[in-house]
Amino acid sequence: MPDVNLPTLLRQHAGGQRSVRVEGATIGEILASLQDEYPGMAGQLVTADGELHKFVNVYLNDDDVRYIDKLDTKVYEGDTISILPAVAGGSL
């Protein structure tokens, strides 16, 4: 199972853990497993339409999965997945 590094905001739903391990052969399956394992994360990672939430960035090792195959990006043993919030705002 790959390691999934969680942002501060989501750690509260995983007992405070910074990193967890869940099953999945793709990023979509990993995120689904996360939400199944930690129900508090439901709705924060994937939208109701099954798309990666726009305020979440997911990295497979060093690569943004949006530039690979999005939720269909394949995941292998030894991979590290990092979930980070999109940080944005402005005076507008």
Partner 1 sequence: MACSQLDEMIAHCLGSYPEEGCGLITGDPSTATVAAVHPTTNRAASAQVYTVDPGEYLRIDRAVEAGGQSVIGVFHSHTRTDPYPSPTDVAQAPDPSWHYVIVSLRHEVASVRSYRIADGLVREESIDFSLVSD
Q: Using CB under 8 A, list all residues that contact partner 1.
A: 5, 7-9, 18, 55, 57, 59, 62, 64, 82, 84-92
**Cα–Cα distance measured from residue 54 to residue 27, given in angstroms and rounded to the nearest whole number:** 15
Q: What are phi and psi of 80, to 5 degrees?
A: -120, 130
Nearer to partner 1, 23 or 55 (CB): 55
Nearer to partner 1, 23 or 51 (CB): 51
Nearer to partner 1, 26 or 80 (CB): 80
Contact between residue 71 and residue 28 where contact means Cβ atoms under 8 Å apart: yes
